[in-house]
Amino acid sequence: MDYTKNLIRFVILITFLLFAISIISSYSKFKWKPVNSINIIADVIKADTPTLVLAETSVDTTSKFNTPAVVVDSIQVNDTLQNKTNNDTLRTEVVHTVFQNFSEPNRITDFQQDPSGIVLKRFINKLIELKNGQRKKIRIAYLGDSMIEGDLITQTLRKLLQQTFGGYGIGFMPMSSLYGADRNYANTSYSNWQESNFIANKNGKKLFLSGRCFEANGYAYTQIKDKTAPSTSILEKHLLFGNTLGTTTVTVNGKPVTIQSANIMNDTILESSAGNALRFEVVNANNLYGFSLESPFGIILDNFSFRGISGHEYGRMDTAFLSAIAKTHSYDLIVMQYGVNMFVKPTDSEFNWFFGPFTKSIYKLKAAFKDADVLLVSSADKAFRYDDSYKTAIGLRNLLTFQQRVAYSTGSAFYNTYASMGGEGSMVRWVNSNPPLAYKDYTHLTPKGADIIGKSIYDAILFEYNKAVQNSSN
């Protein structure tokens, strides 16, 4: 009995002491490290709202970029600014200024503090040189998933850029493609090509930016008619290939042509003549990548679509081979559009695990194509069925924040497709529009929808171009 009474007294005493410590800790400035973590009434006391949390984050106001810690939560930062007091707004204004363009539609940002600064500056300067006759060609590599399959988005962007800055031709075409016939601007046929690619490459072939490599065991052919090129204008028909079987004779539009693999990456003009058709025939050849049908001048924009990937695959490419591509067939702008394949299920909302693999791809491309700017095109809106209706994926904003963080960390420019579509719920609206701008998979755009995004990206590039032209005239 005495034992029980003593135990009760002890429990009451300890409880009283803990209560007293909690009261003192909560309502006074008294702090003692051994009891800092002891507070048995924390859940019933309203905590003071930290009003200077953002100010605790170090912000460099003199350099071009802010610190990555701010970038990760930039959407939340912008959303909460309006709820801050005037004092706090002043202390966090630099954060808002730097990242306010992240959600701006139809524009490109590289997170500069100065709004008069030129985004994609090297590329824009090259456009000015091209327009002034000081440069012959500009090449653009547009890498993406099924969102650009069948030349969607890119065909519109290419057409508008060529109308403004000159050039014609569809650019890159693979030796064969299951989806090549979907292109509105080229007719293709082919036979007997074996393909290694990002998904299936058991022999460890060196892959081109298309993520593919082809070989012919026996006779094989490819036939292309480029509907973007006038039939009376000079069209260069390039063959892109790696190490072949020494010296190889191929047939080009009925005529024999000898090609040699002098390097691990080669670009040979098979024919430069009037006419927009190419028929290529070969017997027993390997390490062939495709063709480039292009004008002798102007804008050349290559579509490198690969269904089902997320962009990290470029981080696994052979570094020396990428550098060889840059030396032989270089690019002035690399566009990367990925995101929809990050969603495996409707509840997916965490994407930071992918930060390392994706940034590795960008850094590897930047290291090889040293003279190229990089533009990240964000995920479009994507909808899933929640309860009884389709709504924007609950993780979509987290994905956009992740993609913004990647752009910031790698020093890449950024275009917000989601905002340019109209933001929250836009995919559902695009599906239900008349005519439809997106398909009922609530993921992919129809040709009309893709035209809108292609035109929007063009407008964003032209905005920077006009800004640069105006700055140079002042």
DSSP string, 130-196: HHTTS-SEEEEEEEESGGGGGGTTHHHHHHHHHHHH-----EEEES--TTGGG-TTEEEEEES-EEE
Can you give the CATH number for the domain in which 180 is found? 2.60.120.1360
Residue 95 domain-assigned?
no
Residue 99 domain-assigned?
no
User: Quick one: CA dihedral 158, 159, 161, 165, positive or negative?
Assistant: positive
Please name the helix (run of DSSP H) or strand (run of DSSP E) that holds residue 348, with its range, or none: none
Residue 92 domain-assigned?
no
322 and 411 in a single domain? The answer is: yes
The CB density around residue 426, as the number of other CB atoms within 10 Å, is: 20
| Helix residue ranges per DSSP H, 208-344 | 319-328
> How does DSSP classify residue 329?
S
Is there a contact between 394 and 346 (Cβ–Cβ < 8 Å)? Answer: yes
Residue 91 domain-assigned?
no
287 and 314 in a single domain? The answer is: no
Is there a contact between 155 and 458 (Cβ–Cβ < 8 Å)? Answer: no
421 and 362 in a single domain? The answer is: yes
pLDDT of the residue at 166: 98
Residue 94 domain-assigned?
no
Last residue of a domain, one of 268, 294, 320: 294
pLDDT of the residue at 471: 87
Q: Which portions of the chain are predicted below pLDDT 70?
A: 1-8, 10-11, 14-102, 113, 179-184, 245
Residue 14 domain-assigned?
yes
421 and 368 in a single domain? The answer is: yes
The CB density around residue 271, as the number of other CB atoms within 10 Å, is: 16
| Residue 292 three-state SS | strand
Residue 28 domain-assigned?
yes
283 and 302 in a single domain? The answer is: no
**How many distinct structural domains can be found in the chain?**
3
pLDDT digits (tens, 9 = 90+) for 350-405: 998 899 999 999 999 999 999 999 999 999 999 999 999 999 999 999 999 999 99
110 and 241 in a single domain? The answer is: no
Last residue of a domain, one of 246, 264, 294: 294
* Residue among 287, 361, 360, 368 nearest 325 (CA): 368
What token pair was written down for 412? 């890449």
* Phi, psi at 135, each rounded to 5°: -140, 145
Residue 96 domain-assigned?
no
57 and 192 in a single domain? The answer is: no
175 and 266 in a single domain? The answer is: yes
Can you give the CATH number for the domain in which 399 is found? 3.40.50.1110
pLDDT of the residue at 89: 35
pLDDT of the residue at 14: 67
340 and 468 in a single domain? The answer is: yes
pLDDT of the residue at 115: 72
274 and 393 in a single domain? The answer is: no
355 and 371 in a single domain? The answer is: yes
161 and 172 in a single domain? The answer is: no
pLDDT of the residue at 95: 36
Last residue of a domain, one of 294, 320, 348: 294
Domain extent, residue 202, equals: 168-294
